[in-house]
Copies of this chain bind each other. A is one copy, B any other.
Amino acid sequence: MAITIGGSPPIAAIPQKKYDSVQWLSKGFSHMKIFSRNPRFKLSSSPLPFHGAGNMPKETDVHVVTPDMSSPRLMPELLDAWNDDYNGVVINPESLPMSANAFASALRASLSHWKLKGKKGVWLKILQEQAELVPIAIQEGFNYHHAESGYVMLTHWLPDDLCMLPGSPSHQIGVGAFVINDKREVLVVKEKCPCSCSGVWKFPTGYINKSEDIFSGAIREVKEETGVDTVFLEIVAFRHAHFMAFENSDLLFVCMLKPMSCDIIVDEKEIQAAKWMPLEEFIGQPFYQDDPMSKKVTDICIAAHEDRYCGYVGQQLASKLDCKLSYLYNAAFWDE
């Protein structure tokens, strides 16, 4: 399925509003309208100064579906909804009928109405406090799309052809931190975990938080687990693994960090122990020597430490076109 993430180069060639819309190209959905109508999605918390404005919808975005006036008595009230840019419909999650019966009849009538109008994807977000509406929506042909704390999003593809709606997020992003000091000692931890690895000295690792950048996630994890302050140097490699939790995928970014302090304060909730370990002792552990993936990553980290390797650094760049500030990660390159 094609999306357009900006132009060519694909990253940033489209204004925010267009960008948000176009990434759903042929997938029947422009998510901004949900953001704009739903307090949960207020963007005031965005760290991206340009972002809010870019996401402000025009009134013309909003389209309340009204019954066919030629037969007002025969048509029950329809659900409040607006069109998306792809001939789809987004039901207003803030104005769903409170009663299950009223919802069921309005949903049924709305679906027939939208099908007659040739609409394609229908998006229905049900907040946790209205969970009793979920089985009704499923009964009317909706399917789960995604969920997170507080709501579940359901979709219904009205045409008879193949559903072109986008999938839900599929990846967790992990970071691993290689922190080495001037004495060639590596910062290592022993995790508190019920598995055999708990006895092994490893890099600090973790998942990044929602909307957190890779480099700041690595710095935070090291600080949380060991108390050591660091600065980000570069991403030296990343691994793409499939069939992880819930059959989703993981991207794990291996980051080189420079220590700015040496005292260790162990996070006792998660970590058994942490210490500075001489590099030779660290790479001497059979645990790594016997494993092709581990050996390769260790070799890369050492090469990077010895300036025999050029990883990716991050640079925050604005795009006039999508009114967004984002980090681009790339290696250094030589001018012509």
In this assembly, does A64 line the interface, its C-beta being within 8 Å of a C-beta of chain B?
no
For the complex, give the distance between the alpha carbons of A279 and B6 in Å.
18
Q: Are A247 and B194 in contact (CB under 8 A)?
A: no
CB distance B331 to A309 under 8 Å?
Answer: yes
Residues 260-297 of A, flagged 1 when their CB comes within 8 A of B and 0 if not, give: 00000001011100000000001000011011111011
Cβ 8 A contact of A148, one of B3, B55, B168, B237: B168
A51 to B107, CA, bound (A): 44
Nearest CB of chain B from residue A72's CB, rounded to whole Å: 32
Tell me, in angstroms, the Cα distance from A288 to B171 when the chains sit together.
Answer: 30
Q: Which residue of B lies closest to A267 (CB)?
A: B2
B22, B131, B144, B247: which contacts A197 (Cβ < 8 A)? B22
* In the assembled complex, A172 has its CB within 8 A of some CB on chain B: yes
What mask results when residues 185 to 229 of chain A are scored 1 for a CB within 8 Å of chain B, else 0? 010110111111100111111110011011000000100110000
Q: 1/0 per position for A294-336, CB-CB distance to B under 8 A?
A: 1011111101101011111011011111001011111101111
Picked from B224, B249, B311, B321, the residue with its CB within 8 Å of the CB of A291 is: B321
Q: Which of B21, B240, B336 contacts A308 (CB 8 A)?
A: B336
Residues of B within 8 A of A195 (CB): 14, 17-18, 21-22, 85
- Distance in Å: Cβ of A255 to nearest Cβ of chain B: 10
A171 to chain B: which residues have CB within 8 Å? Answer: 169-173, 251
Whether A150 sits at the interface, judged by CB under 8 Å, is yes
Which chain B residue lies CB-closest to A241?
A: B326
CB atoms of A245 and B23 under 8 A apart: yes
Mask for A23-58, Cβ within 8 A of B = 1, else 0? 111100101000100000101001110010001000
The answer to the question of A75 belonging to the interface, with a C-beta cut-off of 8 Å to chain B, is: no
Minimum CB distance partner of A208 in chain B:
B170
CB distance from A146 to the nearest CB of B (A): 6
Selected interface stretch from A91-99, A113-121, A132-140: A132-140
Say whether A11 contacts B294, CB under 8 Å: yes
Number of interface residues of A (CB under 8 A): 152
A108 at the interface (CB under 8 A from B): no
- Complex Cα–Cα for A85 and B326 (A): 38
| A283 CA / B4 CA spacing, docked (Å) | 18
- Distance A24 CA – B324 CA, assembled complex (angstroms): 33
Bound complex: CA A211 to CA B128 (Å): 30
Across the interface, do A239 and B328 meet the contact criterion of CB distance under 8 Å? Answer: yes
The answer to whether A3 touches B174, judged by C-beta atoms less than 8 angstroms apart, is yes
Q: A326-B241, A333-B309 are in contact. Are A318 and B292 (CB under 8 A)?
A: yes
Q: Is the pair A241, B324 in contact by a Cβ cutoff of 8 Å?
A: yes
The answer, yes or no, to whether A124 is at the interface (CB within 8 Å) is no
**A153 contacts chain B at the CB level, 8 A cutoff:** yes
Given contacts A13-B291, A318-B292, whether A243 and B51 have CB atoms under 8 Å apart is: yes
Cβ-based interface call for A105 (8 A): no
**Cβ–Cβ < 8 Å partners of A138 in chain B:** 128, 131
13 CB contacts below 8 A, A to B, read A7-B294, A9-B294, A10-B252, A23-B174, A23-B250, A145-B148, A147-B153, A168-B169, A239-B326, A242-B326, A297-B328, A308-B336, A311-B330
